[in-house]
Structure 1
Amino acid sequence: MSDQIKQATQEYATRLGDDSVVLGHRISEWVSYGPFLEEDIAYGNVALDYIGRARMFYAYAAELADDGRDEDDFAYMRNDREYRNLLLMELPKGDFAYSQVRQLFADVYYTLMLPELLQSKDETLSAIAAKAIKETKYHLRRSRDWVLRLGDGTEESHQRTQKALDQLWGYTHELFDMDETEQLLADAGIGVDVAKLRDSWLKMVSDILTEATLTVPEDSWAVRGGRIGYHTENLGHMLTEMQIVHRSHPGCKW
């Protein structure tokens, strides 16, 4: 592995870890606040799936960096400007409809992205994808069912779900952006060319929303910046809460 590819792969693994740990934390905020007990348990399980995924990506990033850092350092000792997660993942949990719509967007994305990552020439990234694919099948089944129930439910649940769609849609464009790092790895057969997934993602999401009697928003606005460290104010507040124990007790391990 050349130094250029190694550095790009380390950055790539860090980004994927950031996406997972941030979304996992947001999901965990619903534990004990779900509409019923089974949903509390389900949210906890999904959050743990994402946290476990983050640990694998961070451990690999630390191995490639080879500078004394470990997975804890990647998760807990970087500030918001050093995080490279997609903006969609860091937005507040909002109401139940908001979280389920965000989860649907993410689940469809990973349903398409992970099988591509499974084909990576990088054995570690491929192995992580193999494990995550199994989890994502369950995640998508759950988020799809909830969006259908909420969209085609009561007048209030329909309105809340449509509002969430309108508020979140502009953040989905960033899912399919490719910068030099990701293009380099895609060309090398290591990373995923996510730009090619956009049409399939849009069709899958649109079909679900139509079945849920919801209206697909227009592409009238877009927000980007997460991959270069430009985040909403929400990430800083989230990281303060997530990192306080580790920073208050130096040397403690995940």
Structure 2
Amino acid sequence: MDHALFQYSLRMGDTNLILSHRLSEWTGHGPALEEDLAMTNVALDLLGQARLWLTLAGELEGASRDEDQLAYLRDAPEYRNYLLVERENGHYGNTIARQFFFDVWHYFLLQALCTSGDERVAAIAEKSIKEVSYHVRRSSDILVRLGDGTAQSHARMQEAVNDAWRFVGELFLDDEVTLALAERRLAPAHASLWPAWLDHVGAVLSEATLSLPDADEARHPAHQGGVQGRHTEALGYLLAEMQHLQRSYPGASW
């Protein structure tokens, strides 16, 4: 088994899956009908991408676990998603700040993965980047509208940006998995994504009249460890809801 690629596929699959579920919690509760539908569509896009990554992970593992088993029959310490995406939604500004930071990172990562030496990885990236290009435009637009809106929306959006910022550093950390894949030219070193990400994020925050937090505040060790299976208690509650049906009726099918 290609252990590094298996772990990386899990990270990507789990991250998309968990964020998809978080966004789906807004269905029927969005601040406007158009935004409610848009958020639901983004959740569906990410769910589709999660399926692609988890299917690849199951094939690499060779243990007869398919995408459903990987999604619904693992406990929290077995998940490899980044901590940013498992955080509770908070108010709509919190959700948009989280989504904006993730979308920009996701775009630059997929852009690099399109040239992966593994054809399966490159194919997933090429299929996904079309959707993620829209995600970036949408979350950037909403962030600007909220940040450059009323005094109240500006203040709440700045607080949301500062709050989510603490968790973005983990997206750019490299470990034995990412370094091994980078050496084989299957994935980029995640640290290499930081300059382009920071430039883009800084430009959009400036347009939104919001302040860019200090880079050092994004690298606190207390907000890292998701890809090693060290999660916040929020993930446990999320999985209890997401996995309820499968756990209650093992092996059930329509």
With normalisation by structure 1, the TM-score equals 0.96
CA distance in 2, matches of 1:253, 1:99: 33
CA distance in 2, matches of 1:96, 1:128: 30
Q: 1:149 aligns with which of 124, 137, 145?
A: 145
Q: Does 1:122 align with 2:136?
A: no
In structure 2, the residue matched to 1:200 is: 196
Q: How does 1:78-93 map to 2 (within 5 A)?
A: 78-93=74-89
CA distance in 2, matches of 1:200, 1:55: 28
Deviations 1:105-163 (A, max 9, x none): 01110111101001111111111101110001110111000000000001111111000
Deviations 1:62-106 (A, max 9, x none): 111111211111101111111011000100011111111111101
In structure 2, the residue matched to 1:96 is: 92
AA aligned opposite 1:91: R
Q: For the Cα contact (< 8 Å) 1:72–1:253, is it kept in 2?
A: no
AA aligned opposite 2:137: R
Deviations 1:199-230 (A, max 9, x none): 11111101100110101112336221101111
AA aligned opposite 1:103: Q
In structure 1, the residue matched to 2:217 is: 220
Q: How does 1:1-254 map to 2 (within 5 A)?
A: 3=1, 6-218=2-214, 219-220=216-217, 222=220, 223-252=223-252
Structure 1 residues 124 and 253, CA, compared in 2 at 3 Å: closer, same or farther?
farther
AA aligned opposite 1:247: R
Structure 2: tracts of 5 or more residues without a match:
none
Deviation for aligned residue 1:253: 5.0
Deviations 1:21-75 (A, max 9, x none): 0011111111111111111111111000000000010111111111121111110
Size of the aligned set, in residue pairs, is 250
Q: For the Cα contact (< 8 Å) 2:118–2:186, is it kept in 1?
A: yes
Deviations 1:162-204 (A, max 9, x none): 0011111110100100100110011101122111010111111
AA aligned opposite 1:14: L
AA aligned opposite 1:170: R
AA aligned opposite 2:59: E
Provide the alpha-carbon RMSD of the alignment: 1.1
Structure 1 residues 57 and 144, CA, compared in 2 at 3 Å: closer, same or farther?
same
Structure 1: tracts of 5 or more residues without a match:
none
Q: For the Cα contact (< 8 Å) 1:10–1:64, is it kept in 2?
A: yes
AA aligned opposite 1:229: G
AA aligned opposite 1:224: Q
- Using the aligned pairs only, state the percent identity: 46
With normalisation by structure 2, the TM-score equals 0.96
